[in-house]
Copies of this chain bind each other. A is one copy, B any other.
Amino acid sequence: MSDTFSIARLDAGDAGFPATLERLLDRGMATDQRIGGIVADIIADVRGRGDEAVLEYTRRFDPFPAEHMADLEVSRDQMQYALEQLPARQRQALEQAADRIRQYHERQGLQSWDYTEPDGSRYGQKVVPLQNAGIYVPGGKASYPSSMLMTAIPARVAGVGQIVAVVPTAYGPDGWLIFAAAALAGVDRLFTVGGAQAIAALAYGTASIPRVDKIVGPGNVFVTAAKKQVFGDVGIDMIAGPSELTIICDGETDPDWIALDLFSQAEHDEQAQSLLISPDAGFLDRVGQSIERLLPQMERADIIRQSLGDRGALIRVRDMEEAVNVSNTIAPEHLELSVADPDTLLQGITHAGAIFMGRYTPEALGDYCAGPSHVLPTSGSARFFSPLSVYDFQKRSSILYCSEEGADRLARIAEEIASDEHLQAHALSAACRYRDTGLT
C-alpha cells in the first residue's frame, strides 16, 4: 500500500468539525455547465433525428459497432435464451435475489379508496400503474444485473404496462447476465443504448425506441444531467450522485468486517464515499489497521485507496447521540447501525436511504438480495427523496362526485371564496348548480 495513503481522522468535538464535514460531503452537485451543454445538444439531436442520432452516438461512445438500430435491440427470446444459458449457480443466485426483491415490493403500493358523505357525495383517489416506464441500467465498464432486478421488479410489481430497459453496450460474457436479469425481471423491451442519447430516446421516442412516461435508474453524470433536463416532459425518479455509506459502530463489531464494508462502498468508484462514526477511538484505530492490512489484498485496491483517501473518514464522536446527529447531517444513502441495539438508534435517524441494522447486515446484502431496491437517494437527498419503490410506478387521480345536495352546500363556500379571489366565472359555475345566477 502506498505510503502516502491515509484516511482522514476527524473528531466531532473539534471546533472546526462542522466546516470540515461540510467540505468532505461537498459532492459537486452544482450543475456542470459544460456537461449540461453537451447533454442539451445530444437531446436536441435525438429529438430531431431520432434513431439516426441514437445510432451515431452509440457508435461514438460505446465499443459495439452497431450498424442498424435493430442491432441494439435484444428481443424477449434473446433475453430468455441468455437466462437458459447461464450456469446453474449464477441463475439460481439471480432467481433467489429476484424472488426476494419481488416479495419485499409486493408489500408496497398505494390503493384506490373513496368515501361517501351523508349527502351522497363521494370523494377518493384512483390509483393506476404507469402505462410504461423506462429503466436505465448503468453499464459500460461493468455489468450490473442486480441493478436490472432492483429497478424493473418494482415496476413489474406495480403493474406497469410496458417496461423498456436501456443499458450501455452489454455484449461479451457479462452482457448475458444483464439479458438474463432482464428476462427474470420481466422487461418487455431492451435496448443496448446508454448515456444521454438513451434518456432522450426514452423521453421523446424514436422510430425504434418507444416514448415512456417515466425514467428511473442511476447513471453517470451525463445520464443524470439528461434526466434533469427532460424532467417535466417525462417523470424521473431522482437525481443521483456518487454512492456513499455511513457506518455507526459501537466498537464491538469485528474491525475487519467494518473495513470490508467500507471497501465495498469505496470500490464502486473514486468518488464513492465511506464514513465510519464511533465513540470508541481505540476501535477507529483498529479499523484503520484493518484497512491498512486488508487493502493490498483487494482486487480494486487502487480505486478503494483513492476513494478512501479523498472522501473517506473515521469520525470520533462523544456518544451515540452525537453519532446520530452527525449521521442526520450527512443524510447518507446507506447507513449501517453496527451496534448491539440498532432499534434504539433507529428512532433518532431522520434521514437515510436504507438503514442496515445490526452487525450481520452489511450493505452488500442490501445491494443484491435482501429485498428493498438498491436504487437510493444519494448526496444528502435522503432529506427529500426516497428509495425506488412500487410507489414510483403508480400515479393517482383525485375523484370528486357531488350529489345535488352536496353541490348546493359546496357551491355556497366556493362562491364566496371565488368572489374574494375576483374570479367571477368560478363563482357562477358553482352558483348555477343551486340558484338562478341572474345571467341573461
The complex is assembled from copies of this chain, and their number is 2
Please choose the segment from A191-199, A281-289, A389-397 that sits at the chain B interface, where 4 or more of its residues have CB less than 8 A away.
A389-397
**A403 CB contact (under 8 Å) in B360, B399, B428:** B360
| Residues of chain B lying within 8 A (CB to CB) of residue A398 | 353-355, 366, 372-373, 376, 387
Whether A413 pairs with B97 at a CB distance below 8 angstroms is yes
Is A151 engaged at the interface, CB distance under 8 Å to the other chain? Answer: no
Is A233 engaged at the interface, CB distance under 8 Å to the other chain? Answer: yes
Whether A362 pairs with B433 at a CB distance below 8 angstroms is yes
Please choose the segment from A3-11, A66-74, A76-84, A139-147 that sits at the chain B interface, where 4 or more of its residues have CB less than 8 A away.
A139-147
Whether A365 pairs with B430 at a CB distance below 8 angstroms is yes
**A396 CB contact (under 8 Å) in B239, B346, B361, B386:** B386
| Residues of chain B lying within 8 A (CB to CB) of residue A29 | 232-233
| Residues of chain B lying within 8 A (CB to CB) of residue A126 | 346, 349, 355
Whether B131 pairs with A413 at a CB distance below 8 angstroms is no
Is A21 engaged at the interface, CB distance under 8 Å to the other chain? Answer: no
Q: CA separation between A420 and B93, bound complex, in Å? A: 10
Whether B423 pairs with A264 at a CB distance below 8 angstroms is yes
Whether A417 pairs with B97 at a CB distance below 8 angstroms is yes
CB distance from A331 to the nearest CB of B (A): 9
Is A38 engaged at the interface, CB distance under 8 Å to the other chain? Answer: no
Identify the interface centre among A29, A396, A429: most chain B CB within 10 Å of its CB: A429
Whether B404 pairs with A93 at a CB distance below 8 angstroms is no
Whether A417 pairs with B94 at a CB distance below 8 angstroms is yes
Identify the interface centre among A128, A354, A397: most chain B CB within 10 Å of its CB: A397
Q: Are A417 and B368 also in contact (CB < 8 A) when A401-B358, A432-B257 are?
A: yes
Please choose the segment from A50-58, A291-299, A317-325 that sits at the chain B interface, where 4 or more of its residues have CB less than 8 A away.
A291-299
Pull 23 A–B residue pairs with CB atoms less than 8 Å apart, ordered by A: A93-B413, A93-B416, A107-B113, A142-B423, A143-B420, A145-B417, A228-B228, A232-B238, A235-B381, A257-B433, A261-B429, A264-B423, A267-B423, A300-B424, A300-B425, A353-B397, A358-B402, A360-B404, A365-B407, A365-B410, A366-B398, A368-B410, A373-B398
Is A234 engaged at the interface, CB distance under 8 Å to the other chain? Answer: yes
| Residues of chain B lying within 8 A (CB to CB) of residue A340 | none
Is A14 engaged at the interface, CB distance under 8 Å to the other chain? Answer: no
Q: Are A400 and B370 also in contact (CB < 8 A) when A104-B123, A427-B364 are?
A: yes
Q: CA separation between A303 and B430, bound complex, in Å? A: 20
Whether B267 pairs with A426 at a CB distance below 8 angstroms is yes
Is A12 engaged at the interface, CB distance under 8 Å to the other chain? Answer: no
- Give a binary string over A316-345; 1 marks a CB under 8 Å from any B CB, 0 the rest: 000000000000000000000000001000
Whether B143 pairs with A361 at a CB distance below 8 angstroms is no
**A371 CB contact (under 8 Å) in B174, B384, B400, B430:** B400
Is A171 engaged at the interface, CB distance under 8 Å to the other chain? Answer: no
| Residues of chain B lying within 8 A (CB to CB) of residue A439 | 256, 294, 297
CB distance from A175 to the nearest CB of B (A): 12
Known: A123-B370, A232-B239, A362-B429. 15 other contacts (CB 8 A): A110-B110, A130-B383, A143-B421, A145-B417, A228-B228, A235-B385, A254-B432, A256-B439, A293-B440, A297-B440, A299-B422, A304-B425, A360-B402, A360-B404, A387-B396
Q: CA separation between A361 and B408, bound complex, in Å? A: 10
Chain A binding surface SS class? mixed
Whether A128 pairs with B93 at a CB distance below 8 angstroms is no
Q: Are A386 and B395 also in contact (CB < 8 A) when A126-B355, A260-B428, A410-B365 are?
A: yes
Q: CA separation between A232 and B374, bound complex, in Å? A: 19
Identify the interface centre among A108, A257, A371, A389: most chain B CB within 10 Å of its CB: A371
Whether B426 pairs with A264 at a CB distance below 8 angstroms is yes
A-B pairs with the 9 shortest C-beta distances? A232-B239, A235-B384, A372-B398, A93-B416, A357-B401, A263-B425, A360-B407, A354-B398, A368-B414
Is A167 engaged at the interface, CB distance under 8 Å to the other chain? Answer: no
Is A270 engaged at the interface, CB distance under 8 Å to the other chain? Answer: no
